[in-house]
Amino acid sequence: MGHLLRCEALAHALQGLAACEIHFALRGSDQAAARIERAGWKLIRLPLEAGVAADVLASQASELAASAVIFDVRDPVPERSLDALRQRPTVLALIDDESPMRLAMDLIFSPPMPQALSLDGSGLRGAHYIGWDWIPLRQSFAEAAAIAPAALADDAPLLVCMGGADPAGLTFKAMYALEQIEAFVPITIVIGEFCAYEQSLRGLCARSRHRIVLRKAVEDMPTLMRTHGFALASFGVTAYELTALGLPALYLSLTPDHAVCAAELERHGVARHLGLGSDVSEKEIARALCELHGGRDIRGAMAQRARSLIDGLGASRIAAAILEQVDKQDV
């Protein structure tokens, strides 16, 4: 879901700066395809096999005479497909990816995480932009980040967000952890439209000792986030969104790679990383929640540092850089 949200943010930013015709190319995920089509974007469905999908993408880009192709992918695109794209003066851009694909790109955009900062820049044909300014978030987050936060009471609710699909079931772990706390603030749990176990979660919420509201597929996440005092979340795009809005957070990680990134946010003093979701106990989560809720001054300092770290304008910066490169290459 994070890949899709970043691409949507960039698509809107590109259309806001120029009269761009946007096509989304997607491999798999009927649910993601339905979301793209509901939003009115043009959709290219790619074959499931990664290598074949890349070849089809190159062919489609050539037929469309695409001026730019922006990659935000899980599987690296084969060199032959990138070479095919190079037959035209097409700008190739890459989002948050340290794979060898970067060597063929005109533009690369990365958050300042150890994975990107440790890369050897030799062999790059293009420019690599690394920094908090290059994180693409939806325009609504940029607008919300520009508004001074309201003062929240000590009993401001907790927000729990474990991603659009939450494949590891971390929402369940969060709920079991909360049940170990006798009295707590109101809680909002947000699940995505791709969540497969909504009814089970609703049953747990109904039986909980706490006041829990379960929200699904929230459209206006910035407004919802701003009404909460702190968050428990899985690391991903949501972490950057929370940081932009200055919301102190505890993070669980799905992968070792995510753990490195979440630990970097902790190093900057804007969050705490509890560890891999598979390793952290419910007792540890409960203890960390109580500590963060009880540390008003700590939360205030975390919020202030977070708001100064990410301003939410990354999508606009990336879009402008891509359009400038398109002009340079006379596409």
The pLDDT of residue 105 is above 70: yes
CATH number at residue 24: 3.40.50.11190
Residue-wise pLDDT for 119-161, tens only, equals 998 899 999 999 999 999 999 999 999 998 877 777 889 999 9
CB–CB of 219/39 below 8 Å?
no
DSSP 40: T
Both 176 and 163 in a single domain?
A: yes
Mean pLDDT to the nearest integer, 37-58 = 92
d(CA 152, CA 246): 12
Q: How confident is the model at residue 23 (pLDDT cuts 50, 70, 90)?
A: very high
Average pLDDT, the chain: 94
Q: Residues 317, 304: one domain?
A: no
Output the pLDDT for position 95. Answer: 97
DSSP track, 231-300? EEEESSHHHHHHHHTT--EEEEESSHHHHHHHHHHHHTTSEEEEEETTTS-HHHHHHHHHHHHH-HHHHH
* Inter-CA distances, 143 with 156, 314, 330, Å: 22, 12, 33
Q: What's 223's domain CATH number? A: 3.40.50.2000
C-alpha distances in Å from residue 68, one per residue of 138, 163, 181, 216, 249: 20, 29, 52, 34, 36
Shared-domain flag, residues 82 and 230: no
Q: Are residues 97 and 157 in the same domain?
A: no
Number of domains in the chain: 2
pLDDT at 31: 85
Express as a percent the part of the chain with pLDDT over 70. 99
Do residues 48 and 175 share a domain?
no
pLDDT at 24 over 90: yes
Q: Compute the distance between CA of residue 119 and CA of residue 321 in angstroms, rounded to an integer.
A: 21
In angstroms, rounded to a whole number, what is the distance separating the alpha carbons of residues 159 and 152? 14
Give the per-residue pLDDT at 63. 93
Percent of residues, the chain, with pLDDT higher than 90:
82
Confidence of residue 268 (pLDDT cuts 50, 70, 90): very high
pLDDT at 301 over 80: yes
For residues 106-114, average pLDDT: 98
> Do residues 162 and 46 share a domain?
no
Count of C-beta atoms within a 10 Å radius of residue 235: 26
Mean pLDDT of 16-45: 92
Residue 125, Cα to own-chain centre: how many angstroms? Answer: 27
Query: Does position 331 have pLDDT exceeding 60, yes or no?
Result: no
Give DSSP secondary structure letters for 190-218: EE-TT-S-HHHHHHHHHH-SS-EEEEES-
Going by pLDDT thresholds of 50, 70 and 90, the confidence category of residue 50 is: confident
The predicted structure's pLDDT at residue 152? 74
Residue 40: its pLDDT value, please?
Answer: 92
Tell me the C-alpha distance between 202 and 200, whole Å.
5
Residue-wise pLDDT for 154-191, tens only, equals 788 999 999 888 999 999 999 999 999 998 999 999 99
The DSSP bridge partners found for residue 128 are 108
Burial-class residue 279 by CB neighbours within 10 Å (0-12, 13-18, 19+): exposed
| Domain extent at residue 107 | 2-137+313-328
Tell me, what's the pLDDT at 165? 86
What pLDDT score does 242 carry?
97
Check residue 6 and give its pLDDT. 95
Residue 175 to residues 164, 210, 229, 326, Cα–Cα distance (Å): 17, 10, 18, 48
What whole-number distance in Å separates Cα of residue 271 and Cα of residue 309? 12
Taking the model in full, what pTM does it have?
Answer: 0.94
Query: Do residues 281 and 319 share a domain?
Result: no
Closest by Cα among 236, 230, 237, 224 to 270: 230
Q: Once rounded to an integer, what is the mean pLDDT over residues 58-86?
A: 92
